[in-house]
Structure 1
């Protein structure tokens, strides 16, 4: 046999690469390996990158700069489970860095990450995919993407995962998502409440707290509160509050309960189970600030429902809140004050707060260093002081601090202080004392605030306190009229309404009324009343009130005075003025250049202070039988009046002496006085003397009409009216007086408008009620109301003829009356 030769081993095929073990210490190499087609290399590279990224933020940034994200975002969907798992782990760890998150937002990866939450995936993939989403979901745009890609449903499913890390990461992502209302709205539909309640039973506190925070957020929606109640979630929450071992969860549990208590059904449920008493006891006795704050918030949320207010009152919630006012923590005090404010909507609770002495600590809180506490305390007191007894209690604590707060630097505090003072003003005894402490001058600055709430409350306070004449004078002297007029032009409805009310009240004072008109209040109110949107009963009443105090302006703008409008000295007729235009004052008109177009008729029944030494012949016949003018009081009468008002007279004289008027150069000048009208004074005396024997109103009207006609040129037939040259007479008077203003007593030739004005001025002095109405082409007429002796006694309106047949009475609306009124 021949020698055996050993058979050589088969050599590998030439086209097969021999296995190569690679070991690298360079991250760049690992990133390059992510592009390998081999699953084993990909898995190992992803694992190495995960470990490297987990060591620190610098490594995450380095990997990002090397381009690892592009490959990893593709590999999380790889067909190989190991590659997919390791890629998800690496991407999740890297996404914790802010720069990585910024880049990932621009990559369309959310759908791929959500796919990794599928039930068939490994628990590890669930853990890191949910971790990645928890990091990314803090970005608003990513939250929208997760929602649009239906990511909520698989996240809720993972709340039941056996792995606590998966639960935590999924819950954290859900918590971020439900900060937006559209995500909260679908939680109940996706059955998300039951698994969250189950998480409250876990042994991991971090998951319990996160579950409570999420529940606190989603129960702001009523559908989720209903779902929580149907799942008996309240029972679990009450159990937690009753367990001292779970005290670390009490703060967050109270947040959920506070949301739920807004519903009547929940409130009734916890009342029946005795949990409400536990909650109130919890709020009163807890020593933890956060627990107290959240307990009061729960009460506050519950109190927004009227039925809940009744339940809370039955459980003496007022005493609990008063106790919490004494807690030495500003947040607790602030929320407690807000709860008191809401509870004050219940009348019984408002009374209980007063009986339990809540006023004193609240007034004390007005001096707090915390602006938020001061605001809340002021708001609570503004609600409490709508009760008479509570307002008195605040008054007893002192008004001066409240008045000082009108100059505070926080708008809400100013507004609340003004509201409290306004509430107190409803009682006469308190109003006078408050006014004496300078309330009117203190309100001037708030009226000028740019804040509409402050403007509104300040204007309302002015209206409340200016019902006293002394208060109006003080307000006027403090310069409050001008800022009040400016508020009439406000675009804010409540500001404008309260300003109108204040103008209505202030216009009762003659000086205030004149100043309001001078500053343009009439024009503004007329403009407001022309607008259907801005017009209100307040603006209409304010306008009428200003007209009442300024009949000259009313007659000029409206061409009409009513039965109740009484002409007094100082009245003038400047002619018809368009609505919205300012009517000049009598002083301004008297200083204008004399023109043929402008004629102003003035009423002045006051004799000059220094009487002339001798009476003119024409004036002698106007004296009474005792040889003196009836317009001048007798010495005995004057002495009696002076003795009665001796002290008052001295004050008035002193006030007059102190009034000094200076011109632009500082030179003292005498105040302007309207020109005297002795002829009118004499006519008044003469008419009164003739009227004295007459008791019948009709006879008095007829006689007065004849006397007026005689004083102004006598009867004038309609056909020859054009020959009654009254215009020439007026031109002569203006030239003589060197003024456009003509005292009515100087007119010897007058037509309809002049005679009707004289008739009204005299009738008002005689107590004869009549109107004054102006028409076109110098027409004017008076309407008197006379009793007709018909089967039923009734008042009939008559127009008085002063021109053609003086004393003739024409029924209003009759053809002859219409002819008298028109050309």
Structure 2
């Protein structure tokens, strides 16, 4: 069995740019093998052999789970067949780095399901994972940090990671050159940063600056992961605004990234701008660096995830100077009206809030009225979402007040 699994694992992830070599499977065949493992009852056998006395067999079984556990059904089956505790037990074989990499990888992917994280907590996995943050090969670190990022989605685990001494080594890993590790460590740091006590330590260790610096990384995945982490750091650090201003070139960089061709980068940067711009001085600086036209250029997107965070950023950036008028002049208003047709509640809410802010400029109200914004806004005023209700009502009120002012002016002119 160890030989069969070993052959399968060596061939499940071929280079997609290279032709098949020898008797190795194509990409479609590799997907088929994964499906076979999931559907032919092999998960039960893989779990059973995690407790084998053969280290190589244990390693191959853990690796197979690692490769298949992106799928929820597999994660559920591993839990059903009581495979989570054996995976934690394998962490004690830290001298066998291949086995450790396979076990930590399987734990990482199984942790995507929060039900599994709860079980892992019962088996004291978190403390062991934190102890593996130092003096390990990168292959192990990528998996360990990935698992901690999933564990940290549960609030109580954020504090536990700190109590077990995990914050300092996580922040230290922000300087790694390994892009896969950086993606995972920024996610973990970002998740931990939502805990105020954790954020104090992250700040003391210069973690905010390190996260900012990763926006310069050439990898789009690292850029977006760093930007999401920056959102959490900015929201929870006491002097995040001042820290951001102390970073030479930081604001220019974040505005420059609005020209990225990657929608995930754009969405994460828009989310970060929304957080950073809550500080008035930061918003003024972002405005000077051209954040308004850069955001306006993105409004024709049809990507709902980007639309959500873009609308949030526009709403926040309206809070400075003549930015409301500038957005209108840059052609941002008409495309935003189209966002109201989205079926995503988050997009509707963010768009209504952006339109409300923009409606405080008379010219923007005229554009909205021409694009027939009133009817969908009136419909949204009946929503169960209070924020959406208030934003929609505020926007309609602005348009109505402008209409009444114009009508009264016309009547006054006619009478005189």
Q: TM-score range by the shorter chain?
A: 0.7 to 0.9
| Aligned counterpart for 1:430 among listed residues 236, 239, 244 | 239
1:420 counterpart residue number? 229
Q: Report whether the alignment pairs 1:458 with 2:269.
A: yes
Q: Is the 8 A contact 1:772 1:781 kept in 2?
A: no
Runs (5+) with no aligned partner, structure 1 = 1-134, 141-175, 186-217, 560-577, 581-769, 783-799, 807-823
Looking at secondary structure, tell me which structure has more helix per residue.
Answer: 2
**In structure 2, distance between residues paired with 1:545 and 1:376:** 36
**In structure 1, distance between residues paired with 2:107 and 2:173:** 21
CA change 1:269–1:452 in 2 (3 A) is closer
| Aligned counterpart for 1:780 among listed residues 377, 387, 407 | 407
2:11 counterpart residue number? none
Q: Is the 8 A contact 2:50 2:57 kept in 1?
A: no
Runs (5+) with no aligned partner, structure 2 = 1-20, 373-399
Q: Is the 8 A contact 1:137 1:177 kept in 2?
A: no
User: How far does residue 545 in structure 1 lie from its aligned partner after superposition?
Assistant: 0.9
1:308 counterpart residue number? 116
1:537 counterpart residue number? 349
Q: Whose relative contact order is higher, 1 or 2, with alpha carbons under 8 Å and at least 6 apart?
A: 2
1:34 counterpart residue number? none
| Aligned counterpart for 1:410 among listed residues 216, 219, 225 | 219
User: How far does residue 324 in structure 1 lie from its aligned partner after superposition?
Assistant: 1.9
1:387 counterpart residue number? 195
**In structure 2, distance between residues paired with 1:448 and 1:555:** 28
1:371-409 C-alpha deviation (Å, 9 max, x unpaired): 222222112222322333333332221122222211221
1:362 counterpart residue number? 170
User: How far does residue 341 in structure 1 lie from its aligned partner after superposition?
Assistant: 1.7
Q: Is the 8 A contact 1:422 1:461 kept in 2?
A: yes
Q: Is the 8 A contact 1:338 1:380 kept in 2?
A: yes
User: How far does residue 308 in structure 1 lie from its aligned partner after superposition?
Assistant: 2.0
User: How far does residue 466 in structure 1 lie from its aligned partner after superposition?
Assistant: 0.8
Q: Could you say what the CA RMSD is over the residues aligned between the two structures, in angstroms?
A: 3.6
**In structure 1, distance between residues paired with 2:233 and 2:114:** 26
* Structure whose CA Rg is larger: 1
User: How far does residue 257 in structure 1 lie from its aligned partner after superposition?
Assistant: 6.0
CA change 1:488–1:357 in 2 (3 A) is farther
TM-score normalised by L of structure 1: 0.40
User: How far does residue 354 in structure 1 lie from its aligned partner after superposition?
Assistant: 2.2
CA change 1:341–1:522 in 2 (3 A) is same
Q: Is the 8 A contact 2:50 2:62 kept in 1?
A: no
1:578-604 C-alpha deviation (Å, 9 max, x unpaired): 559xxxxxxxxxxxxxxxxxxxxxxxx
Runs ≥4 residues deviating over 6 A: 803-806
Q: Is the 8 A contact 1:447 1:483 kept in 2?
A: yes
Q: Is the 8 A contact 1:327 1:333 kept in 2?
A: no
Q: Is the 8 A contact 2:183 2:226 kept in 1?
A: no
1:32 counterpart residue number? none
**In structure 2, distance between residues paired with 1:180 and 1:467:** 46
1:372 counterpart residue number? 180
**In structure 1, distance between residues paired with 2:126 and 2:157:** 7
**In structure 2, distance between residues paired with 1:555 and 1:249:** 68
Looking at secondary structure, tell me which structure has more strand per residue.
Answer: 1
**In structure 2, distance between residues paired with 1:557 and 1:774:** 16
CA change 1:394–1:540 in 2 (3 A) is same
User: How far does residue 293 in structure 1 lie from its aligned partner after superposition?
Assistant: 0.2
User: How far does residue 485 in structure 1 lie from its aligned partner after superposition?
Assistant: 1.0
